[in-house]
Amino acid sequence: MTWFDDLKTPRIKSTLSHRSSKIPEGMWEKCVRCGEIIQTKVLREALQVCPECGFHFRITAWERVSLLCDEGKFVEYAEDLTSADPLHFDDLKPYRDRLTSAASSTGLKDSVICGKAELSSLCYHLGVFDFRFLGGSMGVVAGEKITQVFEKALKEKLPAVVVTASGGARMQEGILSLMQMAKTTAMVHELKKARIPYVSILTDPTTGGVAASFAMLGDIILAEPGALIGFAGPRVIEQTIRQALPEGFQRSEFLLAHGFLDRVVARKFLATELRQILGILGRTSCRAQHAAHES
């Protein structure tokens, strides 16, 4: 073993205070909470969680799939659905151009990935939001994909799991995006009637119409530490009620203390936690399900 194998991330945050704070792209990341400069490799190995303060960086939908599924055990569906421009919406930039730009920069066709997954041989249906695609906003396509997760879970009598990271309903699709709140909520009701488990995992941020619909309706609701969760943002609320909000308001730990969550789970324990929940509530191994279909 060479001496540099044990090289640790240097503590250089204080030395940058009087210099340019620009960090060489690709080699280092700066924690937005504690200011620590972290090697990209170290951060990646820590699942994008700051090793100094525990701040959870946002991760992509595919990284989330990799975290919550056995390798090679995720079969995507509805991957060809793409958003249209039903309202011909233009602001500073035409909506069609925004969709094209988001698809180009993320490699995604919309803000949600969905598919059938396995975790330790337990089958379930999974939907994951990606905040990079127009702020993880929910338009017609995102709503349809989440609905398909619930429909397939209902049909196959398998648990449904949705991981949210969203700014809410997509304003460029107007009332059509708001209708997705009712659509997805109705499917959650069908799951409950059929006693099919639904686990909602809230990550930073989960706000707006997503928070006000299916995201807060899980049979079990988990959240990552420090995630912003709520309908309107703290600044909007403060300006509306003209009062200072409590410390940590709308963060995961605040919601847990006030009974809105079942548990706050660090990212490195999330797969283990989900595995235990699926084992208790799902009780359906993929092997048993395949045998049932064959018979």
Mean pLDDT of 150-160: 97
Calpha distance 179→143 (Å, rounded): 9
Strands (E), the chain: 28-30, 37-39, 74-76, 112-119, 122-129, 160-166, 198-207, 220-223, 229-230, 263-264
Concatenated DSSP letters of 167-183: --B-GGGHHHHHHHHHH
pLDDT the model gives residue 11: 52
Mean pLDDT of 103-114: 98
55-89 residue pLDDT tens: 999 999 999 999 999 999 999 999 999 999 999 99
Q: Which stretches within 194-285 are classed as H helix?
A: 208-211, 234-241, 252-257, 267-277
Report the length, in residues, of the chain.
Answer: 295
Give pTM, 2 decimals: 0.89
Helices 61-68 and 267-277 sit at what angle, rounded to 10 degrees?
Answer: 50
pLDDT the model gives residue 295: 52
Calpha distance 50→52 (Å, rounded): 5
The residue behind tokens 């988001």 is 102
- As to burial, measured by CB atoms within 10 angstroms (0-12 exposed, 13-18 middle, 19+ buried), residue 8 is exposed
Cβ proximity of 223 and 261 under 8 Å: yes
pLDDT the model gives residue 281: 87
Calpha distance 144→148 (Å, rounded): 6
pLDDT the model gives residue 106: 98
Q: Tokens at residue 229, please?
A: 């969760």
Mean pLDDT of 128-156: 98
Q: Tokens at residue 53, please?
A: 């303060």
191-247 residue pLDDT tens: 999 999 999 999 999 999 999 999 999 999 999 999 999 999 888 999 999 999 999
